[in-house]
Amino acid sequence: MTDILLITFAMSLLYLSIANRLMTYIRILAFQGFLLFGVTFIELNQINVANLVFILLETVVFKALAVPIFLNHVIKRNGITRVAEPFIPNFLSLIIVTLIIVTTIVLSNSIHDTNLDKTFFVVALSTLFTGLYIISTRRKIITHVMGYLIIENGVFILSLAVGNEMPMLVNLGIMLDIFASVLILGVFFNKIGDVLKDPDVNQLRNLKD
Amino acid sequence: MITIFLIVALLISALLYLNRNKVINYTLVVAYGVSLIAFTCYQLANPNQIELGFFKSDSLGLLLLTTLCIVAIPTLFHGYRYIATHDESRKSRGMFFAAMTLLLTATGAAYLSNHIAVTWIFVEITTLSASILIYHHRNANALEGAWKYVFICAISITFVFIGILFLSLSLKHAGVDDLSFDALQKNYAQLNPFWLKLAFLFIFTGFTAKLGLVPMYTAGIDAKDKAPAPAGALLSSILMNLGFIGIYRFYAIIAHTEIKVWANTIIIIAAFLSVFVATVYMTRIKNIKRMFAYSGIEHMGLVMLGLAAGGIGVYAAILHIVLHAFVKPSLFFQFNQVYRVYQSKSIYDVGNYFKYNKAGAIVLLLGFISATAMPPSGLFISEFMIFQSLFEAHKILILIVVLILLTMIIWGFGSNIFKLLFTPPLEIDESRIPKISPWESLSQYLLLALAVYLAYNPPVFFVQMIQDAVKLLPY
């Protein structure tokens, strides 16, 4: 069951690579939040209940609801146009993300480690690199933020892989999640919307040599 | 003791933020300075003591904590001068000092942390407090600098976390679930090399944002440019040291294992590219503050070359990082006065600084000599030892190229500094130039002199501390 959820997660990355509208990105993020809820619920069966409830709440309340709603709010309030505006065509993006996934699968096959659940490893790493790829190929600041949130999801999956032995690391991951997202989204995105009317990354290009 | 210090510092920081009264504000800042000194003295008196299970006052931590304390006092003073000359609102003054005390506290605690996750948490807090300092002026440029800094630091902090996760995977074999540096040192033989490699790659990349090394150095440059000069001084000294301590403590574990040679190659590539990038920008840069920031990139590249070369290079790297933390802040403090005279950072608008502020001009001259490591400077000793270690490690080609690059850096740095000091500016309204008291340059002289003293006539306990820190590596 975990495998099905994780593979669905990997497929959502492919969908993400060809998504055109910001709304689609937000929906995918929310969907990934629910998927992570499912994975956590099935996988973390050796840790105490209070901690599990906390982690589950984080996935549903924070990842699947609060962040997407807030992103939606930001887009509406700042009047951001609805298109993602990638630098390169969607078809190429699809190929590149596929290549990322294939590469991580090949990489994971070279590992001989019985302790490792390879599905976790593959999905986590490909999510991480897809997030980096999204950041580097999209124009808008808000898509950068979304790319960062995708990286966070990848990290969360990776932390689940060691979650039963070291629940502290999952909690640390959640701390990173909340801390960094709040820092980026809350303070700075608000201010970027206020000072620069059009939150386009090209407007943040004054500092250079 | 560390509990008391953290609580007191947090309390002072919160009060600074909440309180708007000038007298109480400055009293709190002085109180913070006193408590920082007391804390450092206590830690120095009780070496190798474990507190709260996570903090250990080992030699490297103590050395850098003392450095932090010495740099922090003039920084708070120059912060006061900065606020006084800028006619700040009461709220932004409170924010400024609250963020600064938080940054100093988090950095100090991260130095002493003996647990990789605890280090990581405090590094996160430094990102938060530093971004408040960078956004101090609340204009579009400051926002841009702060945004870039936060974003790149958020990614790099995620990288460090991924590294920690891989580290825990490599620990699964050993059957250990303690991530403290001491436990890792003890169990290095059982760590799985494959996961350790991945962990090193991610942790190293993550910490380069703080250290100022390729690939994540870009965040720091904009940050140091946009932050107020006293904050820039902190970012370019103690915060870089934080990146160093993070990498060094992890490298100390790697160095015991079979992947040491591989890790050295990675470090050398990143370090060499850093020196190269610094050269490219230093030779054509026109913004004085950014020039100082790039000079920091160059020095960190050299430090990492020394670390990877091994032998005497490790000793030199630690010495270099301490001395650099005294030299660079003095340049940033002085820059604040330069800005007050010319109201510009561009090299085209400045000149003939000797005429307007003699004491400050001599600081810049001495700072230039120090930062480029010419003989009377303390950094000369450490750089010389780094070159020696590269020679002994048979990395002659790298040594030659780095020496050529350094010569170009001296040329770029020198042509800008001499323009600032001697060539008259094109247009300047001399009636508007404020009189700057020579006493404001005193702390810079003291810091530069300290760097010379520590290099040429190091006290026994100073040498002993560095040697203890070097002993973390297997030689």
ipTM of the complex, rounded to two decimals: 0.88
Evaluate whether residue A74 is within a structural domain. Answer: yes
CA distance B196 to B190: 11
Per-residue confidence (pLDDT) for residue A187, from 0 to 100: 57
- Among A118, A204, A205, A206, the residue to mutate for chain B (most B Cβ within 10 A): A204
Residue A61 domain-assigned (yes or no): yes
Distance CA B364, CA B71 (A): 18
Res B163 pLDDT > 70: yes
* Residue A205 within a domain: no
Q: Which of A141, A160, A162 is nearest to A152 (CA)?
A: A160
Domain annotation covers residue B106: no
Look-up of token digits 């605890």: B118
Nearest to B267 by CA among B231, B230, B214, B312: B214
The average confidence (pLDDT) of chain B is 90
DSSP A47: S
Cα separation, A209 vs B243, in Å, equals 24
Token pair listed for A159? 């932390």
Determine, yes or no, domain membership for B334: yes
Chain B: give the shortest CA distance to residue A173, in Å.
8
Residue B161 near chain A (CB below 8 Å)? yes
On whether any CB of chain B is under 8 Å from the CB of A50, the answer is: no
CB atoms within 10 A of CB B238: 27
Amino acid code (one letter) for B3? T
Given a cut of 50, whether residue B336 has pLDDT beyond it is yes
pLDDT at A204: 63
Instruction: Using a CB–CB cutoff of 8 Å, tell me whether A113 touches chain B.
Output: yes
pLDDT at B89 over 60: yes
Contacts for B171 with CB less than 8 Å, ≥ 6 apart: B177, B179, B187, B191
Which of B102, B144, B184 to mutate to probe the A interface, most A CBs <10 Å? B144
Q: Assess if residue A209 is contained within a domain.
A: no
Question: Domain for residue A206, yes or no?
Answer: no
Query: What is the pTM (predicted TM-score) of this model?
Result: 0.92
pLDDT digits (tens, 9 = 90+) for B391-428: 999 999 999 999 999 999 999 999 999 999 988 887 77
Q: How far is Cα A4 from Cα A6, in angstroms, rounded to an integer?
A: 5
User: DSSP alpha helices (H): ranges in B255-311?
Assistant: 260-282, 288-309
B346 part of a folded domain: yes
Any CB–CB contact under 8 A between B222 and chain A? yes
pLDDT band at B355 (very low <50, low <70, confident <90, very high): confident
Question: Given pLDDT bands bounded at 50, 70 and 90, which one contains residue A201?
Answer: low
Roughly what angle, to the nearest 10 degrees, separates helices A141-161 and A2-18? Answer: 160
pLDDT at B195 over 70: yes
Domain residues for the domain of A154 are: 2-198
Domain that holds residue B442: 259-475
Q: Cα separations (Å) of B313 from A164, A187, B384, B400?
A: 42, 43, 9, 16
Give the pLDDT confidence score for residue B111 in this predicted structure. Answer: 94
C-alpha B124/C-alpha A173 separation (Å) is: 12
pLDDT in tens, A158-199: 888 777 777 778 888 888 888 888 777 765 555 555 444 444
**Mean per-residue pLDDT over chain A, rounded:** 82
CA distance B158 to B170: 19
Total number of domains in chain B: 1
**B26 domain-assigned:** no
φ, ψ of residue B54 in degrees (nearest 5): -115, -20
pLDDT exceeds cutoff 50 at B239? yes
Residue B178 has a pLDDT of: 78
Tell me how close the Cα of B169 comes to any Cα of chain A, in angstroms: 7
pLDDT at A195: 44
The count of structural domains within chain A is 1
